[in-house]
Amino acid sequence: MTGIKEESYISLNALTQFRDEKGHYHFESDKEAVASYMEEVIAPRRINFNSLQERLDYLVQEKYYDPAVLASYDSHFIAEIFDFAYAQGFKFPSLMGAMKFYQAYALMTDDKKSYLEDFEDRAVMNALFLANGDENLAKKLVLDIIHNRFQPATPTFLNAGKLRRGEYVSCYLLRVEDSMESIGRSISTSLQLSKRGGGVALCLTNLREAGAPIKGIVHQASGVVPVMKLLEDSFSYANQLGQRQGAGAVYLNVHHPDILSFLDTKRENADEKVRIKSLSLGVVVPDITFQLAKDNKDMALFSPYDIMREYGKPMTDISITEEYDRLVANPRIKKTYTSARKLFQTIAELHFESGYPYILFEDTVNRRNPHKKVGRIVMSNLCSEIAQVSTPSTYQEDLSFETVGDDICCNLGSLNIAKVMEEAPHFGELVEDAIRALDHVSRSADLGCAPSIEQGNRKNHAVGLGAMNLHGFLAINHIYYDSPEAVDFTDIFFYCVAYHAFKASNRLAEQYGNFENFEQSEYADGTYFEKYLTEDKQPQTSRVKELVEQYGLEVPTAEDWRKLSERIQKTGMANAHLLAVAPTGSISYLSSCTPSLQPVVSPVEVRKEGKLGRVYVPAFRIDDENYAYYQKGAYEVGPNAIIDIVAAAQKHVDQAISLTLFMTSEATTRDLNRAYIYAFSKGCDSIYYVRIRQDVLDGSEHYAEDQVIASTKSNFTCSGDSECQACMI
């Protein structure tokens, strides 16, 4: 790539930050930058073939494409669907979208010198894989992907249709039980999953604390920190063919005796023997912890070793909130005390230092859990949007399974809110097609290297359909992000998504049968749907009512829900979980839209792209008329506005939502604690990252470059400026 060629598209892209003599921004110059990039950078490196058949023969013969995927369809249809895709006239809306595709997703020759795919080719291979031989569905998915209405998560979009590939699954969740065998098996399983391109989260709550007895001898256990070090080294070793380091997260209940040591591993001044650099940290916080902090009381930290002996079950599998007084009163359970307020102060300090830990509100997710009879939700994943039940495994001394428990994997994809609303009369069909696509991922994943995850996936076929581009939709419709109308629309949109997702899973049950424990779920007795049966849902603001009518969105009635609930009780559901809203860092750039449910950080975001330097990313369809609706970004609206949006969606999302808090450099730990309490009180399931803005001078008044504090402190970050290294969603 020559300096001259770089300069043309980079210079055009850079114009987006400037105004002309009439005060108008050069947002259209970004589209010119795309054309320049395609002509000067991509075209010379694209391998051209004389015909589609010649191209497919080559890709199969050279072991790039999986012949089994192509063999699922008639050869005439294969030719038809490729022609159909190219006829859509796809063009990347932004330079960043084009760069993201060709740098991260497009199939290249083994020497990485030439391109073998354009976006249409990747869309077709995804559609063929996800449709599983259904020609009609394949054509609909091609349209949805090419027109950016539905985007599979990175592992699926990257690997679909390839012979030599990683897994389709975004990330994995593993329980670790209190035995050397469980610890050893968890490390080896993490290595296997990282090798296949997945990020892994592990729950350490059940490990006995430092100083606990081993074989009756006191003060022998080393606690959770040495296990964290072993895991960190394992993930660093599994570097996925040198493309990126393996990525992992560990979760710990805040009432575990090692909680302060656990958090201190992320301190800037932590001793190197215990300091955790690249492993992500998450904490599980029960309701009782907030109550103790409110009352300014000390909180008890309970020995998991003693809980297991007294209750006959691990610490994760009891409710600390419900059992707290009995645990405190039981003299056979060792306990130590710390200030509840000090704990939250420590968490806030670490958020300023590193962006960690993630926070999972334990009782909130378990109140919403539709599978209470099966078990408890005890942890989340690397992006804090997965909330599913897991059960323990037991092992022989050679690490073989004695009993296989149920662990968790994430099968993810996202709807583009603005693009879906443009097709609102077909809203239900779009949601159903997306659920069918994700369901096929759950039935196609090869998870044999992790039997507990394989079993959990086989039993549940859980999927996580999410959404992105909320701010983009609001802005082009002249709605401010921090307004009652924004909350109202979010509520209505996810209400509709939930209805059609459950309807789709009910229809899939006719084909595949029910997920294994359906009869024990709140879907089976209808209690999960009671909240939808009391009254017809209507927009609460006149502006959202206008939008619903303008776009032709049909809002389900209470009677619609009643009929659906009765049908589900009679014929079941194919999937134990349906919705989860991920952060969508990479796929939002790919789709040239705003990430997840978050507001933009600025109307034109600035990214540092290796040797190219700065690349400017204009917000979705930004122009002079809607500019003002992007100008008040994530840091300006503050955390409460984002929490209000997430809380509105969370009412209808059966799993969790990646909630990132954005704080200015003037924020204090007290401000952060207020944000935690507000998110908790509004019924949010979790908090993902905390981002602190660092203002820099750039000579432009319409943006401030920002960074994730965590990115300067560790090798792994999963938000905003740096897309998730684990699930790349």
Instruction: Please list the active-site residues.
Output: 381, 383, 385
Retrieve residue 644's tokens: 């209000």
Identify the three-state secondary structure at position 14: helix
Retrieve residue 84's tokens: 């159909």
Indicate the helix (H) or strand (E) that contains 409. Answer: strand 408-409
Q: Which of 343, 384, 344, 346 is nearest to 365 (CA)?
A: 384
Indicate the helix (H) or strand (E) that contains 692. Answer: strand 690-692
Within 10 A of 94 (CB to CB), how many other CB atoms are there? 26
Distance (Å, rounded) from C-alpha 182 to C-alpha 171?
20
Q: Output the CA torsion 474→476→478→482 (10° steps).
A: 30
Bond from prior residue into 357 cis (ω within 30 degrees of 0):
yes
Place of tokens 């804090």: 384
User: Amino acid letter at 179?
Assistant: S
Indicate the helix (H) or strand (E) that contains 284. Answer: strand 280-285
Retrieve residue 68's tokens: 């089994």
Distance (Å, rounded) from C-alpha 644 to C-alpha 490?
10
Cα within 13 Å of Cα(626), Cβ side: 21
CA distances in angstroms from 312 to 62, 214, 252, 308, listed in the order given: 56, 17, 20, 5
According to DSSP, the residues that pair with 115 across neighbouring strands are: 46, 108
Identify the three-state secondary structure at position 660: coil
Within 10 A of 415 (CB to CB), how many other CB atoms are there? 25
Residue 102: exposure state from Cβ atoms within 10 A (0-12, 13-18, ≥19): buried
List the helix and strand counts (H, then E) for the chain.
Answer: 28, 18
Inter-residue contact 468 to 416 (CB < 8 Å): yes
The one-character DSSP state at 150 is E
Residue 187: exposure state from Cβ atoms within 10 A (0-12, 13-18, ≥19): buried
Retrieve residue 353's tokens: 């230092």
CA distances in angstroms from 115 to 35, 42, 43, 142, listed in the order given: 17, 8, 9, 21
Cα within 13 Å of Cα(426), Cβ side: 12
Retrieve residue 685's tokens: 């399931």
**Residue 132 φ/ψ, nearest 5 degrees:** 55, 45
CA angle centred on 626, ends 621 and 630, rounded to 5°: 85
